[in-house]
Amino acid sequence: MARHCGAMATRIQARLNTVCSSRWLQDWHLSLGLSGARLTHAGAAERLQREYDAVVIGAGHNGLVAAAYLQQAGVRTAVLEKRHVLGGAAVTEEIVPGFKFSRASYLLSLLRPQIYAELELQRHGLRVLPRDPYSFTPLLEDRSPPRSLLLGHNMAQNQQQIAQFSQKDAQAYPEYEAFMGGMVSALDPLLDSPPVDTAALGKGSLLQQLRNLRALWPLLQAAGHQQPALVQQCSSHTTSPPPGLALGQQLPRYYEVLTAPISKILDQWFESEPLKATLATDAVIGAMTSPHTPGSGYVLLHHVMGELEGRRGAWGYVAGGMGALSQAIAHAATAWGAHIFAEKAVCHVLLGRDGRAQGVALQDGTEVRSKLVLSNASPQITFLELVPQRQLPKDFVQRIRQVDTRSPVTKINVAVDRLPSFLAAPNARDGQPLPHHQCSIHLNCENTHLLHQAFTEATHGHPSNRPMIELCIPSALDPGLAPQGCHVVSLFTQYTPSVLADGQSWDEQARNAYADRVFDCIEDYAPGFKASVIGRDILTPPDLERIFGLPGGNIFHGGMSLDQLYFARPAPSYSGYRSPIPGLYLCGSGAHPGGGVMGAAGRNAAQVALKDFRSL
């Protein structure tokens, strides 16, 4: 098998000649016109009409979700995507021939369970591959073999693993999980409805006021939340389960988690550094923050608030890569009758004399009229590029300009001809995947200080010398992603500033130097990794902005700091998906509840737009 892949690797290597960089790969990719570059589902056969009830700008997963709900409700909807593939940051792309990469996002958990069910995504082809174990942190140590920390869904095994480092931490872990689980369950109802419109409270007729009060219900649910079954289940491992726990009673402790640096919270629970650093990665992932930054706790919650097949906090791979999820949503939408088009870049929103959105104009000059326009593009593209500034309140424009989009992420997609063999858990002779190969593998994660140091370098404009690396090998569970015996490796790395110090640019040299540094780090944990590399696709923050339209390369369309969430996302008074332009709605990650492959913004925005449509 290894020989099969080896021969393939030699052929590819001969073509690549040298390890290739992202821009070169992109040109090659486009010039080859690989499959997937054109739509293959029902809607593709339709011709773009000149009029719809609703137009969605962008076919990110949120735009597709919004379209599916609108069309399901009988609103004739078209989706217009500027790239050649659907899915936005949830795409599968064959960047190296024969290797299918989840080119940007790569793990699924956050997608709202209602969306699976209501859009019947399983029927439309979605297959999820859950991971257990899910987290592996190998250490660099002067002992043979070095230790590692493997975490999964079996609490007793987790405790054994943690006990290698601290008995005390092993005992505390179930209670910590229960505590975080309780908080996540409490916040859950807030995700599936628009934030409370405080301006509307107390306005209008008595009936209207009562209706407006209904919007407070999710908040009240969160505040009066009772301990869910799952938390009680986890708590049964502890010596003192807190029965009937309510967010109300726990509010001061939960408030602290939301506002404190995650390092402070983790120090309260644990003493062992590998455990704290592993947990802290969820608090900084995608964010230009350190574990010592106040408010990092919320980012951690955001990353554990999902569920997979009913299991809270579980993350899995989508069979066929993340693009297969977008395809399933697109199938659902087209099955209801929506029309979806790739390579249709919108250049501006059409406005009527009354200032209402009336449709969109495409870059090729085509105009498409509609009563509703939903934008899945970032708030910055939507309001600073697609709408004339004079049509928007000045303070709104200023707020959008001020959204913090700093991003630390460089994603590197790597094609390899064999599985990495870690010093802490060497491969078997047959080279077959071992349990840890399906995990998120955390490198340079020996302690939280390392993460902070990596962050500090980036704040001075330098890519980290020992970056935080989350290495995933989706082909360990989904072998169809790569030729036999070969694998796709996803490297989610930080910290890389989008603007480098001393006026340096992210040119080929800088980009390759950083990727080489990342590969050197991996080599320390898994000797032989560098020799296994067939090709690589390096996506620095400017690349993420250029290719995917993510402002500043920010993977969430804007930071997930407390000042940019809920009431304030994307701007205070405009968090309910409506915008200052009547008929124009935001339906992507720049709106509540933010980034990640959740679909919540798309679903909530469709509901708001639908309500308005019915009263037109």
Ligand X SMILES: Cc1cc2nc3c(=O)[nH]c(=O)nc-3n(C[C@H](O)[C@H](O)[C@H](O)COP(=O)(O)OP(=O)(O)OC[C@H]3O[C@@H](n4cnc5c(N)ncnc54)[C@H](O)[C@@H]3O)c2cc1C
Distance, CA of 61 to CA of 88 (rounded, Å): 7
575 is a contact residue toward ligand X (CB under 6 A): no
Pick between residue 412 and residue 425 the one whose CB is nearest to ligand X.
Answer: 412
To ligand X, the closest distance from the beta carbon of 225 in angstroms equals: 24
104 is a site residue for ligand X (CB under 6 A): yes
Min CB(95)–ligand X separation in Å: 13
Nearest approach, Cβ of 398 to ligand X (angstroms)?
22
Contact segment (CB under 6 A) with ligand X among 57-65, 121-129, 158-166, 480-488 equals: 57-65
251 token code pair:
């509010």
Which of these segments, 55-63, 152-160, 172-180, 246-254, binds ligand X (CB under 6 A)? Answer: 55-63
Question: 531 and 559 in contact (C-beta within 8 Å)?
Answer: no
Strand partners, 317: 129
* Terminal-residue alpha carbon distance, the chain: 63
The CB-of-391 to ligand X minimum distance in angstroms stands at 17
* Spatial distance between the Cα atoms of 285 and 409, rounded to a whole number of angstroms: 8
> Per CB under 6 A, which of residues 353..382 are in contact with ligand X?
376-377, 381
Regarding 302 and contact with ligand X (CB under 6 A), the answer is: no
Angle between helices 167-187 and 296-304 (to 10 degrees): 80
CA atoms within a 13 Å half-sphere pointing along the CA-CB vector of 180: 24
User: In angstroms, what is the minimal distance from the CB of 596 to ligand X?
Assistant: 4
Binding mask 378-407 for ligand X (x = CB under 6 A): ---x--------------------------
Peptide bond into 133 cis (omega under 30): yes
Torsion of CA 444, 449, 452, 458, to 10 degrees: -60
SS3 613: helix
Question: Does 89 participate in binding ligand X (rule CB under 6 A)?
Answer: yes
Binding mask 545-574 for ligand X (x = CB under 6 A): ---xxx----xx------------------
Q: Provide the minimum distance between the beta carbon of 578 and ligand X in the complex, in angstroms, as a whole number.
A: 17
Q: How far is the CB of 68 from ligand X (least distance, A)?
A: 13
92 C-beta neighbours (distance < 10 Å), count: 25
Among 43, 88, 379, 551, binds ligand X (CB under 6 A): 88
Residues 6+ apart with CB under 8 A from 440: 107, 134, 135, 136, 315, 470, 471, 472
Q: Running DSSP on this structure, what letter comes out for residue 121? A: T
Give the CB-side neighbour count of residue 174, counting CA atoms within 13 A.
Answer: 21
Pick from 328, 313, 365, 332: which is nearest to 153 by CA? 313
81 is a site residue for ligand X (CB under 6 A) = yes
Assess contact for 299 and 287: CB atoms under 8 A.
yes
Q: Counting contacts by CB under 6 A, is residue 128 touching ligand X?
A: no
Tokens describing residue 270: 């644990």
Instruction: By CB under 6 A, name the one of 36, 43, 63, 551 that touches ligand X.
Output: 63
Site residues for ligand X, window 447-506 (CB under 6 A)? 492
Output Rg (C-alpha) for the chain, integer angstroms: 24
> From the CB of 33, what's the least distance to ligand X, in Å?
18
Strand pairing report for 99-102 and 92-96: antiparallel
Of 272-280, 292-300, 527-535, 544-552, the segment contacting ligand X by CB under 6 A is: 544-552
- Size of the residue set binding ligand X (CB under 6 A): 38
Interaction of residue 597 with ligand X, rule CB under 6 A: yes
Residue 162 or residue 555: which is nearer to ligand X going by CB?
Answer: 555
Would you state the structure tokens that stand for residue 91, as one six-digit string?
């795409």
By rule CB under 6 A, what string of x and - marks binding of each residue 326-355 to ligand X? Answer: -------------------xx---------
- Chain residues in the site for ligand X (CB under 6 A): 57-63, 80-83, 88-90, 104-107, 110, 345-346, 376-377, 381, 409, 411, 492, 544, 548-550, 555-556, 588-589, 595-597
